[in-house]
Amino acid sequence: MTACNKDFLDLKPLDAISEADVWQDLNLIELYVNDRYDELPHGFCKWAGGLRMTGITDESYHMHEARFLDKYTQGGLTSGSLNMYYFNGFWLDAYTAIRNDNIFLEKISSYQGGEQERIKQLTAEIRFLRAYFYTELISRYGGVPLIKKTFDLDSNFNVPRASFNECVQFIVDELDQAIEDLPNRDEAVGEDFGRITKGAAIGLKIRALMFDASPLFNKTNDQTRWQKVSQACEELFNLNQYSLSNDYPGLFLNPMDSGVIFFKQFLGQYGFELVDVLSDYYYHYRGGQSIDEWRFPNGDGGWISENPRQEFVDQYETTSGEIPVLGYTGSPNNLTPIINPKATNYNPSNPYQNRDPRLRYSVLYDGTTFKDRDLEFWDGGKDSRNTNVDFWWNGSMLGYGIRKSLDESWSLNAGVSSHQPWIYMRLAEFYLTYAEAQYHLNNFPMAVEYVNKVRSRGSVNMPPIDASGNLLEKIKHERKIELAFEGNRWYDARRWLDAEADFAKDIIAVQVKKDANTGAKSYRYYYFEGGTGKRSFPTSHYLWPIPIEEILKSNLEQNPGYN
């Protein structure tokens, strides 16, 4: 997202700008809208995106945030939990953003200037942003109050919760209205690069409809809801603006990739010039984020904060298309893998060989090459928690790190931020969404076709699936692997009603030992927390509790299990 320098030369001094001035000056109106983009959370350093979300799923353990996340992962979330801003704070943040969007929608009609087509586009962007926050709210809380206007001191603040279906319909209606006035991807170039497009709005509509169609909210498996998901996916595909990326690891560093639909960019890339105007309007664009510091291995000075769990690593198939490890037996401190006899090219002595390439692209593990060296997670290695190693306290607790989205060319110097984009939406997600919808509509051949489009593309090249056996589980599995560590898993497992089983499993870690004489490596698998059953996911956790402060000051009905 860029801005033209010469337009800002005529701005009044900040202390001379009135509210009326803002809504009569197109430059100031654009700056107001740009500030609304800043309210979008992202997964690099804010809660509601992906970084910490992985730590409350079966994907990973977040060792630097465990003191906060354990309240959730151990089943203790309440409407008044202490130190739980990550959870209770989202409600306030979302409604603050919605209020700012409502201000725009109320004030913009007073604009008397020219360039009305630009005003229509900016209005459509605001409708998208308001719909985005409502989509995030309903995916956490179910039905919520629909606040469509600003309040004054004389307003009635006791707005009841709308039903979930009413919220979904409002979101869809808003997005359909926005789509009409948004540009296509190939039109959002130059100064509009990074702004919201038709594809992004359709993608958000698909996500809202997907929640509406899934078992969490679709108790009767109403197929008309799946039909709406299918139609929205086809609406996206028919734009002919996107294609699957053949560079799986590279797409997370390149917002211009053909498969990227919506992203948040950070200043320092792509040769665009941004002007620092009016306080914080370009905060995230002139600055950066800290994903490389959070995820780099300690051998390169990073924190390797998120540690993928062994049982999640096991989900990456062999190159022959088989899950290699089906479970574990034995004592908590020395577990024995149950090897899948169909995974004939799996070698327990070299467990990362002959695996789905997305394992190498997504996970840091012992022996993989990173920044032109082989990582050393073995005891005493450069990336271990051995006390003789520099930054040992930041060594992985589970024997793994997350590689996805890392920029290996970046140097972790003090005070230097990272600038890769946060990818909100990409085409592969919606291919798999379409496959899931086709399954529920009994169109199994089409479901298989779209899963295989994802699996067969360049840089992945995994063997095709077929419709035999449990096709729905195959679709879920592909989604789990393709979208790993991007913030989707928490939403998916909940909407499928799988979280009670999947998120309550004990964490398994690996210890790698290296023979000093031969260099041979051995692997010990064990329960990280001793197999004590600390992980739990009560039924109430499918929805978050409305913050107690909101319950006490209004007539809102609390979600089940939190009274």
Q: What is the pLDDT of residue 277?
A: 30
Backbone angles phi, psi at 413, to 5 degrees: -90, 155
Q: Where do the structural domains in the chain lie, given as residue ranges?
A: 185-265+424-489
From the list 383, 403, 475, the residue with the least C-alpha distance to 438 is 475
Q: How confident is the model at residue 392 (pLDDT cuts 50, 70, 90)?
A: confident
Lowest pLDDT segment from 62-71, 183-192, 303-312, 398-407? 62-71
- Hey, what amino acid is at 309? R
Average of pLDDT values for 525-548? 90
- Can you read off the two tokens belonging to residue 521? 């490596």
**Percentage of residues in the chain with pLDDT exceeding 90?**
72
Give the model's confidence band at 85: pLDDT under 50 very low, under 70 low, under 90 confident, else very high. Answer: low
- pLDDT over threshold 60, residue 286: no
Q: Mind listing the pLDDT tens digit for each residue in 441-493? A: 999 999 999 999 999 999 999 999 999 999 999 999 999 999 999 999 999 99
CATH of 185-265+424-489, one of 1.25.40.900, 3.90.226.10, 1.10.490.20, 4.10.93.10: 1.25.40.900
Per DSSP, the residues of 58-110 read: SSEEETTTHHHHHHHHBT---TT-TT-HHHHHHHHHHHHHHHHHHHHHHHGGG
pLDDT at 11: 55
| 339-345: long-range contacts, CB 8 A cutoff, minimum separation 24 | 343/318, 344/320, 345/318, 345/319, 345/320
pLDDT at 47: 43
543 by DSSP, 3-state: which? coil
Is pLDDT above 70 for 269?
no
- pLDDT of 287 reads 46
pLDDT per residue as tens digits for the range 209-265:
999 999 999 999 999 999 999 999 999 999 999 999 999 999 999 999 999 999 988
Beta strands 508-514; 306-308: pairing state:
unpaired
Q: Model confidence over 497-513: pLDDT tens digits?
A: 999 999 999 999 999 99
Phi, psi of 22 (to 5 degrees): -55, -45
Residue 195 has pLDDT above 90, yes or no: yes
Considering only CA atoms, give the Rg of the chain: 24
In 3-state terms, what secondary structure has residue 403? coil
Place 1 in a pLDDT band, splitting at 50, 70 and 90.
Answer: low
pLDDT number for residue 282: 31
Report the 3 state secondary structure along 178-195: HHCCCCCHHHCCHHHCCC
Q: Read off the pLDDT of residues 107-155 as tens digits, 9 standing for 90 and up.
A: 999 999 999 999 999 999 999 999 999 999 999 999 999 999 998 877 7
User: Residue 329 pairs with which residues in a beta bridge?
Assistant: 336
User: In Å, how far from its chain's centre is CA 253?
Assistant: 15
Task: Report pTM.
Answer: 0.93
pLDDT at 344: 97
Residue 432 near residue 450 (C-beta atoms within 8 A)? yes
Q: What angle do CA 294, 297, 299 make, to 5 degrees?
A: 130
Mean per-residue pLDDT over the chain, rounded: 90
pLDDT tens-digit series, residues 300-317: 888 898 999 999 999 999
Whether residue 8 contacts residue 251, with contact meaning beta carbons closer than 8 Å, is answered with no
| Dihedral angle of Cα 54, 60, 65, 71, to the nearest 10 degrees | 80
pLDDT reported for residue 66:
78
**Two structure tokens written together for 222:** 């109403």
Compute the CA torsion angle 152, 48, 66, 494 (nearest 10 deg). Answer: 110
* Strand, helix or coil for residue 228: helix
Classify the phi-psi angles of 530: left when phi > 0, otherwise alpha if psi is within -120 to 50, otherwise beta: left
For the stretch 157-170, pLDDT in tens is 789 999 999 999 99
CA distances from 135 to 142, 220, 433 (A): 10, 22, 17
CA distance 382 to 411: 17
The pLDDT value recorded for residue 209 is 99
- pLDDT of amino acid 283: 29
Residue 27 DSSP code? H
Token reading at 332: 């908590």
Residue of 421 and 494 predicted with greater confidence: 494
Give pLDDT, residue 86.
65
pLDDT band at 281 (very low <50, low <70, confident <90, very high): very low
